[in-house]
Structure formats: C-alpha cells, structure tokens
C-alpha cells in the first residue's frame, strides 16, 4: 500500500496521502529542519451534530454530547491516556468545535510511542455508568466557567439572537441539565456513528516520514467497514431571531458582536467562497481601511476590533467584534459603511492589497506543523487539499469578491450582542 505524493510547484511543498486499509485517511507532511512532530486526528462530529440518521434510525442526543465524548475517550480500562503521554514526554490535548472533534499531541522524541497512544485512544471507547457520571461534575464546572466568560458569552448570545432553530445557537458543552441526560449507551451510539475510521482523517507534520507512520498504522489500526452517518438540521429562516441582546458581566469596557446573517443551506462553505469573504473583510475592516479609521477617529473602538466569518452546515454570517463604550453607535456606523460597500463594491486597489495580505498569511501556514495539520483536517472534510487554499487565493479575482458580496452583509438582517459591566 503506497502513499500518493501531492506537490505544489508554486511554493515547492509536498506531502503524502493514503486511504489506509483500516478506512482511515492518513496524511504525512514532512518538514525538513524541524525537531518536533505534531499529530492531529479528527472526526466531523461537533456540537451541531445532535440529530442524525445512522443504520436507518433517527437519533437525537443531548446538547453537549460531542464534547462529553471527547472527554471520556481519554479513559480506557488500562487508565488515562494523559498518564501514558506523560511517560513519552508528549504534550496532548483535544478540542470540540461546532463541526468536529480532534485529538492531538506534539513531541520531540518517542514519536512512535505517542502515536500508538493516540491510535489506541480513538479505537478503545470505555464508558460505564460510574465513569460517565463522574465526568458530569468536571464538565459542569467547565460549563459554569464559560457562562462567566464575557468573550464566550458575547459570541454565543449573538448566535442565539441570530438563529431560531439551528444548533449553532447551543453552547458546545451543553448545559448542566443536558449533560445529566448523557448515558454510556448514548456515547457508544455517537462513537459508533461518527468515530468509524472511514469518517476520520489523521495528519502528522514536522519531523516524520511516511514509512514510520505506515508501520505503526498497520500494527495498530483495526479494519472498519465503510459506514456513513447523515446529520439532520432544522429549517432556519433567513431573518434573524432578534436584533439586540444584552447581558451584564464584570467587564471594564463593554463588548460587542455584530453579526450579519446570510442565507445558508446544509452544505459546507467552499474554499473559494471562504477566500472571497476573507479578502472582502481584509479590504473593508482591516487597520488601514476607511471603516477602521472612522471608528478609531470617533474613539468608538480600540485594538480589539476584528472581523471574521462564521460559516458551516446551515449557518453563515459575517461578524464584527470588539470593545466599545458605545455599542449601538458602532453598529450603526458599520451598517452605514456596509450600505456604501454594497453600492460601490471593493475597489481594485483595496482588492490587490487585501489579496496580497491574505496570500502572505496563507503561505505562512506552511511554516507551522500545527497550522498545517489543522488546515489539512478542515479542508479534507470539505473534500479539498491544503494546496487548494493556496491556489484559490492566488487565482481569485476582484469580480469573484464583488460577486460574493452580493450574498453577504445584508444591512437589514443583523443582530447586535452586547456585554455591559455590572454597574454600567
């Protein structure tokens, strides 16, 4: 069984890819001159995947199940995976996002032993009523911590203001009440549905060779039959649920998130769409833009101001965020500038500057093993390669960006989320 060599002449980079006999997609991205290795394995099971069809049955799981499963997978009958990693010197972690769960480690030595731990971890679920119940207190504390985090609350409150039905409006960790409903049977159901190796991708980058990865994979991976699970998402209106939401927490300066909701289907955002939006936001809201200068001159924002894109299966929105003493005035100013942008489009000069900036940041991804692995996993789940991101950025045109603008930034379809101080 051989790896496929994938190369990019533009930047002289290459990596190796194979569909292993076990079903797992394996990507090995060697980086000469690096002394460390970074490994990441992921499945497209995140917090929004709370309804799905598997084996002909429709299943609804409690909110926070994907995150709970991430925690529990580190336990086995032999003990805790973190204890094993401590013996190899590797730094290990995991995370659950809205659309995926990933497990990772980085190391400078004993790579083979650490990779064996990772492959055992994702293939050895061990859930009992006692161990599942024990985790409720730990995750309950994590939930309370996020409930008290202004950065997290201002974002989640925005999602809840924008979305009527889509599970993007649900906290990734769920609530204390919903995680109390999780049982070993539910965790095994989700594990069997989403952790089939045919639905997973592993990327290893840095000081590594395809041969050593394949030798370990052949020994440790168990063959799995092809198995697909279909996530189900509710119908979501185009219009936002609410234009305004406010919460009070102990903050020195009020915080805001302003989201412009878009029409979305249950398909992923394409690489080209994402790049067009990134260039659009770079031109419209970066530190040299007229919008940024105007807000700064009026003392409405500070260096925390940022613009980003929220996009996935059934949800899409452009989001502006930062700190301000006048959230409503910032929102109105941004909306007025959006109206002008929709009328005039991005200029050729602004486009060229933004494109060069984005291309530079894209190229810099290939200098970091962790960034490489993270981008590889995300793009593989979209059916793309990490080099597609580079090529699309190099080839995108002004016309592409202005065409994309037509479906974004509706100035009448927005929500404003605000976190104010306790005494404000």
Catalytic residues: 70
Three-class DSSP category at 145 = helix
Three-class DSSP category at 214 = helix
Q: DSSP per residue over 172-205, as a string?
A: TT--HHHHTT--HHHHHHHHHHH--GGGEEEEEE
Q: What is the CA radius of gyration of the chain?
A: 23
Give CA–CA dist 376/26, Å, rounded. 11
Contact by Cβ (8 Å): 47, 170: yes
Place of tokens 């926070």: 64
Q: DSSP per residue over 43-66, as a string?
A: ES--TT--EEEETTEEEE--TTHH
Q: Pick from 391, 363, 337, 380: which is nearest to 42 by CA?
A: 380
Q: Pick from 179, 161, 180: which is nearest to 169 by CA?
A: 161
Give CA–CA dist 122/22, Å, rounded. 13
Give CA–CA dist 72/214, Å, rounded. 27
Backbone angles phi, psi at 71, to 5 degrees: -60, -45
Give CA–CA dist 294/301, Å, rounded. 10
């Amino acid at each position: 069984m051989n790896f496929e060599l994938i190369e990019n002449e533009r930047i002289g980079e290459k990596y190796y890819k194979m569909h292993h006999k076990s079903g797992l997609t394996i990507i090995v991205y060697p980086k000469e001159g690096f002394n460390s290795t970074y490994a990441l394995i992921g499945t497209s099971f995140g917090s929004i995947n709370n309804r799905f069809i598997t084996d002909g049955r429709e299943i609804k799981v409690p909110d926070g199940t994907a995150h709970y499963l991430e925690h529990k997978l580190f336990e086995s009958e032999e003990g805790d995976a973190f204890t094993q990693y401590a013996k190899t010197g590797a730094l290990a972690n995991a995370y659950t996002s809205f659309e995926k769960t990933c497990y990772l480690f980085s190391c400078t030595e004993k790579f083979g032993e650490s990779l064996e731990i990772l492959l055992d971890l994702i293939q050895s679920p061990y859930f009992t009523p006692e161990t599942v119940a024990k985790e409720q207190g730990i995750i309950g504390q994590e939930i309370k911590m996020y409930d008290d985090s202004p950065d997290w609350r201002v974002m989640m409150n925005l999602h809840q203001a924008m979305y009527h039905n889509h599970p993007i409006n649900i906290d990734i960790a769920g609530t204390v009440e919903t995680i109390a409903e999780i049982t070993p049977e539910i965790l095994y159901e989700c594990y069997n549905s989403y952790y089939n190796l045919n639905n997973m991708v592993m990327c290893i980058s840095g000081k590594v060779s395809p041969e050593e990865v394949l030798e370990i994979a052949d020994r440790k991976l168990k063959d799995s039959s092809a198995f697909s699970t279909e996530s189900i998402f509710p119908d979501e209106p185009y219009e936002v649920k609410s234009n305004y939401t406010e919460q009070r927490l102990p903050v020195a300066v009020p915080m805001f998130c302003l989201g412009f909701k878009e029409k979305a289907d249950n398909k992923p955002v394409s690489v080209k769409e994402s790049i067009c939006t990134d260039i659009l936001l770079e031109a419209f809201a970066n530190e040299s833009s007229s919008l940024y200068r105007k807000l700064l001159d009026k003392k409405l924002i500070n260096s925390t101001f940022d613009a980003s894109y929220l996009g996935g299966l059934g949800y899409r929105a452009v989001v502006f965020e930062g700190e301000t003493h006048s959230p409503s005035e910032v929102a109105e100013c941004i909306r007025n500038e959006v109206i002008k942008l929709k009328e005039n489009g991005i200029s050729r000069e602004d486009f060229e500057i933004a494109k060069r900036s984005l291309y530079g940041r894209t190229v810099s991804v290939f200098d970091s093993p962790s960034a490489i692995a993270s981008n590889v996993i995300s793009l593989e789940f979209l059916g793309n390669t990490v080099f597609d991101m580079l090529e699309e950025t190099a080839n995108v045109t002004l016309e592409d960006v202005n065409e994309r603008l037509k479906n974004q930034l509706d100035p009448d379809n927005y929500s404003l989320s605000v976190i104010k101080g306790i005494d404000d």
